[in-house]
Structure 1
Amino acid sequence: MVINRKEKSASRDFGNLVHHLPRAVFHPRSPQDIASLVKTSYESPAPFTISVKGQGHSTRGQAMARGGVVVDMRALREENNSNKKKNIRVIWREEGYYGDVGGEALWADVLREAAEMGVAPASWTDYLYLTVGGTLSNGGISGQSFKYGPQISIVHEMDVITGKGELVTCSSHTNSELFHAVLGGLGQFGIITRARIALHPAPKMVKWVRLLYNDFSAFTKDQERLISINGRKHNNNDNNDDDVALDYVEGMLLMHQGPINNWRSSFFPLADHPRIISLVTQHSILYCLELAKYYDEKSENNVDKEMQGLLEGLSYMPGFYYEKKVSYVEFLNRVRSGELKLQSQRQWDVPHPWLNLFIPKSQIMDFDSGVFKNIIFKRNITTGPVLIYPMNRSK
Structure 2
Amino acid sequence: MIRQLSTAAADFATEFERLRHWSAETDAAIEGRVAEILADVQQRGDAAVLDYTARFDRVQAADMAALEITQAELQTALASITPAQRDALQAAAKRVRAYHERQLEASGRSWSYRDEDGTLLGQKVTPLDRVGIYVPGGKAAYPSSVLMNAIPAHVAGVPDIIMVVPTPDGVRNPLVLAAAAVAGVHRVFTIGGAQAVAALAYGTATIPRVDKITGPGNAYVASAKKHVFGQVGIDMIAGPSEILVIADGTTPPDWVAMDLFSQAEHDELAQSILLSPDAAFLAAVQASMERLAPQLPREAVIRASLQGRGALIHTRSMEEACEISNSIAPEHLEISAAEPARWEPLLRHAGAIFMGAYTSESLGDYCAGPNHVLPTASTARFSSPLGVYDFQKRSSLIEVSEQGAQVLGRIASVLAHGEGLQAHARAAELRLKG
Range of TM-score over shorter length: under 0.3
Q: Computing the radius of gyration over CA atoms, which structure comes out larger, 1 or 2?
A: 2
- Ranked by relative contact order (alpha carbons within 8 Å, sequence separation 6 or more), the top structure is 2
- Decide which structure has greater helix share: 2
- Decide which structure has greater strand share: 1
TM-score between the two structures when normalised by the length of structure 1: 0.26
TM-score between the two structures when normalised by the length of structure 2: 0.24
